[in-house]
Structure 1
Amino acid sequence: MASPSKPTAAGRVLAILDTFTDRHDSQTLSSIARRSGLTLPTTHRLVGELTAWGALHRQPDGEYTIGLKVLELGSLAGHRLRLKQLAHPYLHGLHHATNTNIHLSVSVQQDVLYLESMLAPGGAPVTSRFGGRWPMHATATGRVLLAALSPEELDDLLRQPLAAYSPHTDTDPNRLRQLLAEVRQRGVAVAYDQIALGVIALAAPIVGPHGHPVASVGITAPKDRFTPHQLIPPLVSTAQKISRALNGPEEALPEDSLRTA
């Protein structure tokens, strides 16, 4: 049996893959070694094997990116892809109605993962894309999902170091507990300046068949142009429509859902 303090072979491979994020999508070998906590020789060997298999791709400049094999495996996550496909027309309607950035997110460990991201010209300056990730505590979409955790699960997450991305990012566990209580009471999350200054972020839950949030719909917008009063009604309506569609029979979406949210 392997020692608890020594990572297994699988653990070392996963540590390498886990170094690739939305903000580190192209890396040198030394960067991968440093961020994975592995020695350079071990990293060189494992990165070579992952590249040969197709999990990583070596670019002409010598840096590495995620390879097509990982994307192929990711496409097998059928339930999340069904959610993305099902939600798309409703998200498009919300995007068209508000002219803001729209996001569909699910939780992955301490992060939210974007299944869909629709950006508006001149919208909020927050980097997001399909497959991108941000920490849950710093996003409205993440806070909606955090608010649904059990007290034990929430305590475990809030014990971890919480990064700040702007001078206003909430990282104090007690402050976050208070904010999450407000999310539970209101049914929506509203956050200001958490990742970028001048940005308002809002989110509402998508509820699964057992009444538990399985994803969230989010809006990010310049806070000098929008207020919660303007954005919450269409946001909540969109989340409710997606929830009903998700929990109903699998059938063709109505034509008018392509135009309205």
Structure 2
Amino acid sequence: MIDRALTILGTFNGGRGRQSLSDISRRTGLPIATCFRIVQRLTEWGALERDGESKYRIGLRLWEVASLAPRSVGLQRLARPYMQDLYETTGYSSHLAIREGLELVSIERFQSPRRTDKRPLVGGRYPLHVTAIGQVLLANAPPEVQDEVLSGELEAVTPRTYADGDQLRGVLADIRLNGYAVSDRQADDVHTGVAAPVRAADGRVIAAVSLALTQADIDGKNMIHLVRLTATSISRALATAHFDEGSD
């Protein structure tokens, strides 16, 4: 029962904010009668809410529980003013992410309302090898995590995406040496990402911050400097606040 309930909640990832009961049944592979029974219980508890069109969305009570997670929410709260300043200074989208297993999880972003591409979605999960922010997190991940990612299938999202494990391993070494990553149109054909690590007081990389630049307006050195400065400022704020991934 618990596994099925978690599977149902998991279908709301990837930007699916509202789903019908038949949508949930199809995506979970569960019979619609079983889905109905579990969805009703989740709705009664407040994990899901049903709107006027008989579609379901994540409920307020689940959001309240999630807001107690210090690893994302505490970090997000401390980083937000620095990210907003980076966004307002440059005019480009700023993004904050952490690593969870073999993926990155987006926990905050500032983005122009004129930008039609709404990715990354806050709460969304993405591969580590494609973007600058993911490459920073992967470069500073434990060796066993790097080995598992590099030995697996590396999807080529664009012709520029690093899809060869040996090539990417060399890139990760350069990222650790230089303290930043640049991903030139590896996630799409328009944007170049610049990212830098956010460190805890003991020096561990616990997150990364990035800018998504357009090719026409890149001032590479200046943008790298601003992203690294922002990451350093967030790291100092974490140290001052005595931030701990296991406490709020």
Instruction: With the length of structure 2 as denominator, give the TM-score of the two structures.
Output: 0.85
Match of 2:175 among 183, 188, 206: 183
* Residue equivalent to 1:216: 208
- 1:6-47 Cα shifts (integer Å, max 9, x gaps): xxx322222221221233222233332333343433323222
* Residue equivalent to 1:23: 15
Asked if 1:52 is matched to 2:44, the reply is yes
Shift in CA distance, 228/212, structure 1 to aligned 2, threshold 3 Å: same
Shift in CA distance, 11/194, structure 1 to aligned 2, threshold 3 Å: farther
Asked if 1:247 is matched to 2:247, the reply is no
- 1:65-76 equivalences in 2 (<5 Å): 65-76=57-68
Secondary structure at the residue paired with 2:83? helix
Asked if 1:63 is matched to 2:94, the reply is no
Would the aligned equivalents of 1:101 and 1:124 in 2 still touch at CA under 8 Å? no
- Work out the CA distance in 2 between the residues paired with 1:62 and 1:171: 43
* Residue equivalent to 1:114: 106
- Work out the CA distance in 2 between the residues paired with 1:166 and 1:59: 38
Shift in CA distance, 38/181, structure 1 to aligned 2, threshold 3 Å: farther
- 1:205-232 Cα shifts (integer Å, max 9, x gaps): 1001221111111111212211432310
Shift in CA distance, 244/73, structure 1 to aligned 2, threshold 3 Å: same
Q: Where has structure 1 moved over 4 Å in runs of 4 or more? A: 121-124, 158-168
Asked if 1:91 is matched to 2:88, the reply is no
Instruction: Report how far residue 168 of structure 1 moved.
Output: 4.2
Asked if 1:226 is matched to 2:214, the reply is no
- 1:55-90 Cα shifts (integer Å, max 9, x gaps): 122233333221112111111113432222222222
Asked if 1:235 is matched to 2:189, the reply is no
- Work out the CA distance in 2 between the residues paired with 1:35 and 1:146: 30
Paired letter, 1:10: I
- Work out the CA distance in 2 between the residues paired with 1:19 and 1:161: 24
Paired letter, 2:61: K
Instruction: Report how far residue 97 of structure 1 moved.
Output: 1.7
Q: Could you list the runs of 5+ residues in structure 1 that have no partner in the other structure? A: 1-8, 251-261
Paired letter, 2:39: V
Secondary structure at the residue paired with 1:137? coil
- Work out the CA distance in 2 between the residues paired with 1:85 and 1:231: 23
* Residue equivalent to 2:24: 32
Paired letter, 2:80: H
Instruction: Report how far residue 177 of structure 1 moved.
Output: 2.6
Of stretches 27-36 and 219-228 in structure 1, the one that deviates more from structure 2 is 27-36
Instruction: Report how far residue 160 of structure 1 moved.
Output: 5.4
Secondary structure at the residue paired with 1:210? coil
Q: Could you list the runs of 5+ residues in structure 2 that have no partner in the other structure? A: 243-248
Secondary structure at the residue paired with 1:125? coil
- Work out the CA distance in 2 between the residues paired with 1:169 and 1:66: 34
Shift in CA distance, 148/64, structure 1 to aligned 2, threshold 3 Å: same
* Residue equivalent to 1:101: 93
- 1:140-184 Cα shifts (integer Å, max 9, x gaps): 222211111222122334455555544544444344333322322
Shift in CA distance, 187/234, structure 1 to aligned 2, threshold 3 Å: same
Instruction: With the length of structure 1 as denominator, give the TM-score of the two structures.
Output: 0.81
Paired letter, 1:84: Q
How many residue pairs end up in the alignment? 243
Paired letter, 1:115: I
- Work out the CA distance in 1 between the residues paired with 2:116 and 2:157: 15
Of stretches 164-173 and 216-225 in structure 1, the one that deviates more from structure 2 is 164-173
Shift in CA distance, 123/58, structure 1 to aligned 2, threshold 3 Å: closer
